[in-house]
Amino acid sequence: MGSDTIKLPIIDFSNLKPQTETWDSTKAQVRQVLEEYGCFEATFDHIPLHLRKSVIHEIKELFDLPLPIKLRNRSNKPYHGYVGQYPMVPLYESLGIPDALSPGKIKGFSDIMWDQGNPSFSKSVESFSEKLLELDKIVRKMVVESLGLDKYMDEHMDSTDYLIRLQKYDKPRSDETELGLSSHTDKNIVTILYQNEINGLEVLTKDGQWFTSQPSLNSFVVMIGESFTAWSNGRLHAPYHKVMMSGNEARYSIGLFSVPKPGYIIKAPEEMVDEEHPLLFKPYDHHQFLQFYYTEAGQRSPAALKQYCGV
């Protein structure tokens, strides 16, 4: 189990306006926390409680569907379609909606899962995802500003697509805590997670301590991926994390992942490279890196991005 003495910092993103003292103080806090932990809890009042509860309800209904129906969620990209039935992580199951914020994508997904469609699911997940997008953009803008890289703002903000993942971690099949998802770092730009009231997410600190994240129904977990670490030339920390399950209830979550667009080259701006911060990674295409990452060599590597394009 994770340590009970370490807690994720909580940052309030409610009622923020750019170029105000509150924005600047929050921005400084975001930068500091992402350098130290690589993740934090965010409170964000743009998403009302009734919508949060509705999304969790719709996710539960989705995972109650028969397996043959869930298997309709296909993709030739890893973790972009249905994932489940893995012997190494038998408690984990998820479905993906690639390019989720493009018009009609979430409705198209629901039309595949339910023969007559499911307007309630589409409306809730689409509204919720659009609000998560607002939070993603605020966090990324604050990071770019805090690094003094405003001239790259438009390029950076336009460089991503969005993937929605709907996830279930089943209750353990014994009285002991069991692995829900193996230790890993995210490979994308930013991940934003929302869950029901069942904990399980554990994060590894820089000094090697695991601790349990305990967000409430009023907060979201914001986490940095390795693509943002590479772009910032190591300024931002992409933390290892895993899911450990206990108790007798399932954990449900929804995640918004900002993902570099195919063909976009991730390259640290020249301002990020100096004597104290030598270049860590050669420019690379995220999707080409993923092709390597999901090979046997990539999966065995303790530092796949470094092996792929490290200097």
pLDDT value of position 175: 67
pLDDT, tens only, 240-263: 999 999 889 999 999 999 999 999
Q: What average pLDDT does range 117-141 have in this prediction?
A: 97
pLDDT of residue 177 exceeding 80: no
pLDDT of residue 174 exceeding 80: no
* Separation between Cα atoms, residue 255 and residue 251, nearest integer Å: 13
* Separation between Cα atoms, residue 16 and residue 37, nearest integer Å: 23
pLDDT value of position 2: 58
Q: Are strands 39-43 and 10-12 parallel, antiparallel or unpaired?
A: parallel
165 has which bridge partners? 96, 255
pLDDT, tens only, 24-61: 999 999 999 999 999 999 999 999 999 999 999 999 99
Enumerate the domain spans of the chain: 10-272
pLDDT value of position 78: 81
pLDDT value of position 127: 97
* Separation between Cα atoms, residue 37 and residue 6, nearest integer Å: 11
Q: How many C-alpha atoms does 57 have within 13 Å on its Cβ side?
A: 11
Question: How much of the chain, in percent, has pLDDT values that exceed 90?
Answer: 85
pLDDT of residue 1 exceeding 60: no
Taking alpha carbons only, the member of 156, 165, 150, 48 closest to residue 106 is 165
Reported as a pLDDT band with limits 50, 70 and 90, residue 3 is: low
Class of domain 10-272: mainly beta
| Average confidence score pLDDT of the chain | 94
Length of the chain as a residue count: 311
pLDDT of residue 305 exceeding 90: yes
41 has which bridge partners? 10, 221
Please say whether the dihedral angle defined by the alpha carbons of residues 288, 291, 292 and 298, taken in this order, is positive or negative: positive
* Separation between Cα atoms, residue 262 and residue 83, nearest integer Å: 22
DSSP 99: T
